[in-house]
Amino acid sequence: MKSSLKEDGSRCKVLVLHVKYARNSPYLNSMVLGLDPERFDVRVCYLKGAPDGKNALDKAGKSIYLEREKSLGGSRIKTILALVKMLRQERPTILHCHRHKSTVLGTIAAVIAGVPFVISHVHGLGRTRNFSRRFFNFFIFKRISAIIVIAEKVMKDVLDNNWALPSSKVRVVWNGVDIETLGLDGDNDCDRVRKTFDVKDGAVVFGSVGRLALTKGHIYMFEAFSEVLKVLPDAVLVIAGKGPLKEELEANAKALGISSSLRFLGYRDDIPNVLKALDVFVFSSLAEGLPLSILEAMASELPIVSSAVGGIVDIFGEKGDGSKYGFGRLVKAKDSLGLGQAMLEVGRLSSDERVAMGKRARERVLAEFTAKHMREGIATVYKEVMGL
């Protein structure tokens, strides 16, 4: 897909393709609404879903809902035909596809509709997990101008698992957080939130944010925390998020004897307040791209204890153990003992030492992992594929 487009001062029209609208997304809002409006005219198309009155992109006139719930009957052919019709109406210069399904359906539709450039955005590891995907990708990636990945480990995974894919097509653009928009500055209402955790004065509050799913490795965090309690008996572990494993995790906690020191918060729409009420952020995931939850915790000036998976190593720096930046500890995934030791190391520091670590964590985010950095990286890829 080549073009003789020149930098003539006109705006580049970009259509961002997403599989489904589930909820208002600060990440997507930041990317779409934050790109230079004098250079880029960006809108989002959702393959599935319907407006719920909460999507900031609706209010800005930046959203398209291709199908309302199941109006296309789940048919890929109908979806592609609807996409072709929409692309011919919108006439974007770039179709920016997020995740595998959008990439496959969007690229096919873009070829038919004559869209000059297609970009695929890969957010995690193991996305080319079977022969079928490798087969489709082999042909689809020939029609794609660039592939954006969110971390170095994700780039390696994409290149290792896709036949004959040239490395020149793959660009690393780290995820970034919009500190101001997310409300990660200031004290917020953290004192009130901390009181709801029912903790003793001076007790260390560990916490994590994420779906209650197998890949998040909560069981290893619980096992680690059971060891922490032997040394810090007043410590509390706070878990924000919902998911299919809630009952199983509650049973795990009971079996480990940590239920009275554990706080399941469920889904929260005040994550900045929750983060500010913690002393240490813990992340025990088994596989990740580059999780926004860790970046948000770092922006909230929290020390980090995490499993060394995916793009988390990128955040921690060259050695991957936090020593370069001094804001936390990394341990091997599934290593409950190592995770517990790291939690204790940070938990037993003085309050002033933890505060200093948290400030270094925020400095790391401000240096390379803000939404502004992310948008600049994406804009650079857009200009490169157009030859500008």
The residue extents of the domains of the chain are: 12-176+371-385, 180-368
pLDDT above 80: residue 126: no
Phi-psi region of 266 (alpha: psi -120 to 50; beta: other; left: phi over 0): left
| For range 181-190, the mean pLDDT | 68
Contact 172, 155 (CB under 8 A): yes
CA distance 371 to 369: 7
pLDDT above 80: residue 70: no
pTM of the model: 0.88
The predicted pLDDT at position 4 comes to: 37
> In the block, which residue shows the tokens 């930041």?
30
Average pLDDT, the chain: 90
| For range 353-371, the mean pLDDT | 94
Fold match flag (12-176+371-385 vs 180-368): yes
Contact 50, 65 (CB under 8 A): yes
CA distance 244 to 260: 22
pLDDT digits (tens, 9 = 90+) for 133-144: 888 888 999 999
Instruction: State the CB neighbour count (10 A cutoff) for residue 359.
Output: 13
Question: In this structure, what token pair is assigned to residue 243?
Answer: 């998911």
Question: In this structure, what token pair is assigned to residue 352?
Answer: 């002033």
CA distance 240 to 275: 10
Contact 185, 179 (CB under 8 A): yes
Contact 116, 3 (CB under 8 A): yes
CA distances to 241, 246, 360 from 211, in Å: 5, 9, 27
Cα 86 from chain centroid (whole Å) = 28
pLDDT digits (tens, 9 = 90+) for 241-258: 999 999 999 999 999 999
Amino acid, res. 181: T
At residue 170's C-alpha, the angle toward residues 168 and 173, to 5°, is 130
CA distance 360 to 324: 11
- The 3-class SS string of 267-297 reads CCCCHHHHHHCCCEEEECCCCCCCCHHHHHH
The predicted pLDDT at position 68 comes to: 53
The predicted pLDDT at position 2 comes to: 42
Question: In this structure, what token pair is assigned to residue 119?
Answer: 């970009």
Fold of the 180-368 domain: Rossmann fold (3.40.50)
CA distance 51 to 227: 46
Q: Which among 151, 93, 161 is positioned nearest to 122, based on CA atoms?
A: 151
Q: Which among 172, 170, 150 is positioned nearest to 27, based on CA atoms?
A: 150
Q: Which pLDDT band, with edges at 50, 70 and 90, does 317 fall under?
A: confident
Does the domain spanning 12-176+371-385 belong to CATH 3.40.50.2000?
A: yes
| For range 139-163, the mean pLDDT | 92
Helix (H) or strand (E) holding 331, with range, is strand 328-331
The predicted pLDDT at position 1 comes to: 39
CA distances to 198, 282, 343, 345, 348 from 204, in Å: 12, 12, 10, 12, 8
